[in-house]
Every structure is written in structure tokens, then in C-alpha cells.
Structure 1
Amino acid sequence: MFDYKEIERTIKDNNLLFQKIEDADKECLIQRLYDTFVVGNPRALWLSFKYIPYSIDCNREDPYWHLLDIIDKNRVLYFIIDYWNKDFVIYKAKMSDIHIFIGDCEGLDEFYLMTSDFMELYSITDHDDLLHIDVRKNKKISD
């Protein structure tokens, strides 16, 4: 069962160096995420992106198995967990630690990885799609 305790267990059991983003910092980060990538307030962010996302082919496998081929393991990202379409749990961490977390956290099925410069967003959907947006390259969806 995926819940806050499972998130905490995964971090603790794997000794992951995760910096939790909370309170005002979390609110600012979520606002920046929406301002940059999302139109409105959809149930799932990927349903209403401002840009046409690039769909990364994972050969019908779980995107988890391809993340380290696509994102450098030393890259520091915001790891944004969509918590039952009600809340976001956000950490800042290296991709290598995020990858360990994803592999061990039971029930995790929808999350986002945002670069610290707010230029790129990776979206792993509950349909096992791996989507990528780079605001410098992707075409904006016209209003």
C-alpha cells in the first residue's frame, strides 16, 4: 500500500540522501511547476501540459528500467510524487538515489522529475508512459 509511511520507509531503509521540500518552499515549487508546465488544475498534471510532450519509447517496459539511460545518475532533480491526486510529496535528490527509491517504493505509479532550473520535466504516468518536456525545445500547445 502506497502511503506516507511507505515513502519514509523507503528513504530510511536505503539511506537515501533526500532533501524534503516543505512549507513555503514547497508551495513556491508547486506554483513554479504549474506556471511553467501545466494548464489549469487537472486531476493528473500530464493530462494538461502547456507543451506537447515527447514520448520516450521504453519498449513496453516499465520506464523505471530506462531512467538511468536517459537521465545522468549524478543529476540533481526535484522528485515530485503525486500523492493520490490530492497532494505532492517533493524531494530534491540525485537521480541515482531517486532511481533506488522508485525501485523499492511499493505502489508508486505516478511521479515527475523536474530539473532545478525549471527547464525540463519528466513525467512517469500511471499508464507507464515516460514523457519529457524541455521548454526550450518542445512546441507549446496553442490556447
Structure 2
Amino acid sequence: MNTILNGDEENEKYFCLEMKKLICSGKSQEAIQIICNFMSKHPNSAIPHNLLGIIYEKKCNHILAMKHFRAAWCLDPTYFPAQENISNFSSFEPMHRFFYEESDRSKSEQKYEIKYDSRHIGHVVEKNKFM
């Protein structure tokens, strides 16, 4: 995958879709390498940790998967896919388990965002409905 991501939402969805294709086609090792490369360029992004969590859950490494889901959630408390995966995989109901990643989310589901003040401190705020 040669796409360079610049933080734009459409590129993030494209990245997630491409990783989903690799993971579903059984090329998880290749996906891990690309995700780690993405992570090195975007160390504060929740997306690569969520994707790694999905890969490790598929590989039946539940503990490592949950660590990555929690890391994603810590990096961005408003990142809905990580919240959903933590909820789904910490449940005792295995029939309700499903993987959730950025390309599954519609723009209308995004209720909160992080706004930075003049001192560069992030605050979780509700998105304006008229954006």
C-alpha cells in the first residue's frame, strides 16, 4: 500500500479498508508491517492500535488484543471503534462479538471530538450539529 496519509478522514477510512482486505485475505503479517509503519509516522493515532487489536483477536491472543484496544482508547477517548471493540470483546456473550473499525463508522455517528485550547490541552466536546 503506497498511500501516504495526512490525517484526513477519507484517507483514514481508505487505510482501514485496505487493512481489512489484507486481514480478511489471511495476510495478517503483511498488515502488521504496514500498520506498524503507519504507527511510526502517526504515533498519536488510535487507528493502528485498533487494527492490531483486531488482528490479535483473530489470532486468539485476547490479552494482546485488549491491550491494543485500550491503547487506542487512551490515545483518543472519542474514538468510537476502540470503545466498541473493548465493549464487544470484554463481554461474556460470544455471539455478540464483532470487529469494528473506522470504515464501519458513518460521519453521523461521530458525536464528539477533541478541541485544543491555547495551551494545547485537549478537551472532549460535543460536535456542532451544523458542521
Please report the TM-score for the alignment, with normalisation by the length of structure 1.
0.26
Greater relative contact order structure (CA < 8 Å, 6+ sep): 1
Please report the TM-score for the alignment, with normalisation by the length of structure 2.
0.28
Q: Higher helix share goes to which structure?
A: 2
